[in-house]
Amino acid sequence: MACNPYLITEPTCISFSGGRTSAFMLYKILEAHDMSLPKDAFVCFANTGKEEEATLQFIQRLSDAWNVEIHWLEYLTNEPKFKRVTYATASRNGEPFEDLIKKRMYLPNPVTRFCTIELKIRTIHKYLKSCGWTDHTENDDWMGIRADEPRRAAKIPDKSRIPLAVNGITVADVINFWNLQPFDLELPSYKGRTVHGNCDLCFLKPTAQVLSLVNEKPEKAIWWMNMEELTNQPFRQDRPTYSSMLQFSKEQIDMFNSDEETISCFCGD
């Protein structure tokens, strides 16, 4: 009999993005352990302060419904470099992200994605280290990467860390699962992608997608505009600033490629 890829046999961190795919992976892990997470497994959600409120609500709802502890974490500029928060106390105005930018005084970009490294990967690592996980590295976390995300999966040498890909799970499987559940992430899905997910106007999202989101909620652009003004630089050199996109949205100018793909990232779905 083949080994169940969702069985945890050693201290394991489950990196939880707050999206449907990572939540599906968490359910399969719970299912493999009779709906009770092993004591040496931690589910960690690193909040940047720019996630949608619906994402935060979803995380808390599944935590309650599945009786699983979610370790809510946020980046700190000073030692111990992290703090534990809750659904009630989690930042909602980009505070951890802004603190990181103010410390460095330059912006992350598609080549230098230090936001992901510092706000998520290293924040989780620092927390686990404080819990006594001396053998844990910054690249040991289990992640919700599907079989139909081959470019993301190819970057993970240890395939045991991506059980969904190992088990051939696709976006259709994830959608079918949530269609049968009593609750779901209250964000729309388009061709299996939750375009509102992760940081609200993340610079890795396709330009047309960001513009669409700005059209929907113009106030979302203000934080990103402020960060560009603070550092006197754009998040990306290959497209207009957030200020320009807000202006485009007001003038209803359609000038972006709707087929542009999202740049893959650790943040996941």
CATH number at 43 reads: 3.40.50
Beta-bridged to residue 89, according to DSSP, are none
Q: Is the pLDDT of residue 262 over 70?
A: no
Residue 6 lies in a domain: no
Q: How many domains does the chain have?
A: 1
Residue 220 lies in a domain: no
Residue 249 lies in a domain: no
Residue 196 lies in a domain: no
Residue 219 lies in a domain: no
3-state SS, residue 75: strand
pLDDT category of residue 261 using cuts at 50, 70 and 90: low
Tokens of 10: 């050693």
- For residue 264, give the nearest of 214, 212, 216, 193 by alpha carbon: 193
Rounded CA gap, 82 and 73, in Å? 7
Tokens of 80: 């111990």
Q: Say what the pTM is.
A: 0.91
Question: What mean pLDDT comes out for the span 218-242?
Answer: 97
Q: At what angle do helices 242-251 and 221-231 cross, to 10 degrees?
A: 140
106 dihedral zone (left: phi>0; alpha: psi -120 to 50; beta): beta
pLDDT at 188: 85
Q: 26-76: per-residue pLDDT in tens?
A: 999 999 999 999 999 999 999 999 999 999 999 999 999 999 999 999 999
Please report which residue ranges of 149-192 form alpha helices under DSSP H: 150-154, 163-166, 171-179
Residue 50 lies in a domain: yes
Domain that holds residue 80: 12-179
Residue 185 lies in a domain: no
CA-angle at 266, arms to 197 and 105, nearest 5°: 90
Rounded CA gap, 88 and 132, in Å? 27
Question: What mean pLDDT comes out for the span 171-177?
Answer: 96
Residue 96 lies in a domain: yes
Q: 111-152: per-residue pLDDT in tens?
A: 999 999 999 999 999 999 999 998 888 778 999 999 999 999
Residues in the chain: 269
CA-based radius of gyration for the chain: 18
Q: In what order do the strands lie in the sheet with 12-15?
A: 12-15, 41-46, 70-75, 82-85
Q: 239-258: per-residue pLDDT in tens?
A: 999 999 999 888 765 544 44
- For residue 211, give the nearest of 261, 238, 250 by alpha carbon: 250
